[in-house]
Amino acid sequence: MKSKQKIIKKDINKTKVVHENSKCSKCGQSPIEGIRYYCLKCETFELCSVCEKNYGEKHGHELLKIRRPEDFNIFKNEIIKQKELQNLNKIEENEEKKIDLTKCHSKCMNLKKIYTTLNNNNFLPIEIIIKNTGDEQWPTPCFFTCDESSEVKGDRVKLVKCTGKPEEEYKLKFKIILKDINKTGIYKSIWQLKNENDEVFGEKIEIVIKDIFEKDMKLRGGKKDKKNIVKDYRDELEENVKEIKQKYDILFSTSSIRNALIRTKGNKENAIKMLYTEKNRNSYYQKY
């Protein structure tokens, strides 16, 4: 009886289950014999029983243990249904998170009326501050992009570390390309915020550039253009003086503000720091 039982066990071991249209992703065994392990997340990843012992835990995903080939189709249909449900849930979540761009507002806080460049440069560096002036949070990530209708253009800029929260301000540095300009003139560049799907939101920002060529100044005598440049500079200086005067009317005189702006080359922040430093120094000498 013992000899017959041993023979029966040997016969059972010899007859292994074969899974047609299967291939081990590690050793390449095809078709897989014995137990087949099928990944529930990866569509094309499966292992034989030997490779499952060595690489199953390293793979990191849950593996389905399939003993009989006929069970595979049943399990696969269930997996497809689960994935379809997961995709539907993701779509619903995205729809809930979708931001109404018509309610997203922005404003440029320090835009100059005109940017003047005297030479035939390849680009003009611009620095502005954009503020979220609405109650709605901006989409993230978002980009500052140039409109196709602009006379002079530039590359889009990503708002780095932008959370899009209301009342927050974001400093932007970008370049307007001037290499295609070949004559003196006034050119407009229109910019606007966009989301990652290229949908616009917020106000349009129009940047006006006066590009003056040295050769044109020489041909025209140069004096008239130079006078205009000086006039533009003086107008801008007086505007900055008025702006600071309105904020700090009691503290500083008009002449002291003007001198501070000239010494700091029109930088308002540095001018105010200089004014406060001089005021504190004068008050110190008055005491002692």
Any bridge partners for residue 143, and if so which?
A: 158, 194
pLDDT tops 70 at residue 215: no
Tens-place pLDDT, residues 249-259:
667 888 888 88
105 or 40, which is more confident: 105
Summarize pLDDT for 78-127 with one digit per residue, the tens.
777 777 777 766 655 555 457 888 889 999 988 888 898 876 678 889 99
User: Residue 193 pLDDT more than 90?
Assistant: yes
Phi-psi region of 14 (alpha: psi -120 to 50; beta: other; left: phi over 0): alpha
What's the alpha-carbon Rg for the chain, to the nearest Å? 36
157, amino acid identity = V
The H or E element containing residue 91 is: helix 69-97
End-to-end CA distance of the chain: 120
Which of 16-20, 199-203, 267-271 has maximum average pLDDT? Answer: 199-203
The position carrying tokens 């390293």 is 58
What pLDDT is attached to residue 182? 82
The CATH code of the domain at 100-213 is 2.60.40.10
pLDDT value, residue 227: 56
Among the listed ranges 75-79, 182-186, 235-239, 266-270, which one has the minimum average pLDDT value?
A: 75-79
- The two domains 16-92 and 100-213 share their CATH topology (first three levels equal): no
**pLDDT greater at residue 175 or residue 14:** 175
Query: Can you tell me the mean pLDDT for 130-143?
Result: 91
Looking at domain 16-92, which of 3.30.60.90, 3.40.50.300, 3.30.420.40, 3.30.380.10 is its CATH number? 3.30.60.90
Instruction: Give the residue extent of every domain in the chain.
Output: 16-92, 100-213, 220-281
Q: Mean pLDDT over residues 203-231, rounded? A: 66
Helix, strand, coil percent values for the chain (each to nearest 5): 40, 25, 35
Q: Tell me the per-residue pLDDT of 53-82, one tens digit each, with 9 for 90 and over.
A: 888 888 888 888 888 888 887 777 777 777
Average pLDDT, the chain: 79
Considering only residues 281 and 70, tell me which one the structure prediction assigns the higher pLDDT: 70
- Quote the pLDDT of residue 222: 45
Q: Which of the residue ranges 28-32, 142-146, 154-158, 274-278 would you say has the lowest mean pLDDT?
A: 274-278
Sorting pLDDT into bands at 50, 70 and 90, what band is 225? Answer: low
Q: Say yes or no to pLDDT of 167 above 80.
A: yes
1 pLDDT more than 50 = no
